[in-house]
Amino acid sequence: MPMDNSRLKHNVKDSIFHFIFSDAENRRKLYHAIHPEDTDVSAEECELVTLENVLLTDLVNDLGILVRDKLIFLMESQSKFTVNITLRLLIYLAMSYRDYVDERGYSLYSTKPVPLPRPELYMVYVGELRDLPDVLRFSDLYGGNGDIELKVRVLKRTGENNIVDQYIRFCAIVDEQRKIHGYTRKAASEVLRICREENILMPFLQTWEREVRDIMVTLFDQEYAMRMFEKEVGEENWQKGIQEGMHKGMQKGRQEGLSEALRSLIAATGYPLEKAMTLLSIPEGERLTYREMLREP
């Protein structure tokens, strides 16, 4: 049975993706990279509407942006190609529209049309180089004719050196240094050094260098421990171990590392604990532990 990558959802690429685009100016740069014709958009007009994992810890999207209340912009970062991204984004879009309607008090039973922002859906591909289609279609999953179609545009590195290109390059650097140095602090330091030299995601990474390093080191430790446990016990026992509490032997160290990363992030940004836990992709079911460790109500 193949390893379920959802268990490694809280990895370096995903968490840094969340962290980068929690910044309003970076969201503006992201939107402008895709819509360069819109030169007047401001950071304040790019509202973060990413879904949070309140009840469904395995169902949360990477990034949602509402631009001027006219465009809803959903994006997923993906290191492995899959057309199933179209179904995931369809679900995220429905959930995002539900939240939009509820927050504005619109009635779905009114005779008047509900004014919705126009949707745009994207996958940022950060995996190994390969030929990919520019657009994925929901109809590829069911084949033939149907009443629902949905398009997901695939974003790859273009050489334009915009913020999308830079994030993809950052992910490539992470993979390169992890292969050389393993899941270590040295790998994290080398990633940041190379990013400085190549002017990748600067000045953001330079401003938040300590916090980014803490996130990377903590999540490298987590990924390494999970992979080593799987290798030791075998894939079948890994599956059983997840259900039976396989984390018992390594949970203490992982929790201490994540709690330190949370403290650093909160001290540097002033973010409340709940927002910091969201940025570090800590599942809802684990959050009580960290509230108690940080002595937060």
3-state secondary structure of 76: strand
- What is the per-residue pLDDT for 57? 40
> Once rounded to an integer, what is the mean pLDDT over residues 179-191?
89
Higher per-residue pLDDT: 127 or 199: 199
Nearest Cα to 73, choosing from 54, 53, 48?
48
> Once rounded to an integer, what is the mean pLDDT over residues 139-157?
91
3-state secondary structure of 152: strand
Quick check: 29 and 213 in contact, CB under 8 A?
no
- What is the per-residue pLDDT for 269? 66
- What is the per-residue pLDDT for 242? 43
Q: Find out whether the peptide bond into 203 is cis, omega within 30 degrees of 0.
A: yes
Enumerate the β-bridge partners of residue 71. 67, 118
- What is the per-residue pLDDT for 190? 95
Highest mean pLDDT among 1-10, 25-34, 178-187: 25-34
pLDDT at 5 over 60: no
What share of the chain has pLDDT > 70, as a percent?
A: 79
d(CA 229, CA 246): 9
pLDDT tier at 8 (50, 70, 90 boundaries)?
A: very low
DSSP H or E run through 78 = strand 71-78
What digits encode the pLDDT tens for the residues 106-130?
A: 999 999 999 999 999 999 999 887 7
What digits encode the pLDDT tens for the residues 30-73?
A: 999 999 999 899 999 999 988 764 433 444 678 999 999 999 99
d(CA 171, CA 160): 16
> Which region, left, alpha or beta, applies to residue 68 given φ > 0 means left and ψ of -120 to 50 means alpha?
left
- What is the per-residue pLDDT for 196? 95
pLDDT tier at 238 (50, 70, 90 boundaries)?
A: very low
Global pTM reads 0.74
d(CA 226, CA 209): 26
pLDDT tier at 246 (50, 70, 90 boundaries)?
A: very low
Range from 88-97, 171-180, 207-216, 267-276 carrying the lowest mean pLDDT: 267-276
d(CA 26, CA 206): 14
3-state secondary structure of 265: helix
pLDDT tier at 222 (50, 70, 90 boundaries)?
A: low
Quick check: 124 and 155 in contact, CB under 8 A?
yes
Torsions phi, psi for 9 (to 5 deg): -60, -35
Q: How buried is 258 (Cβ within 10 angstroms: 0-12 exposed, 13-18 middle, 19+ buried)?
A: buried
Strands 151-155 vs 118-125: parallel, antiparallel or unpaired: parallel
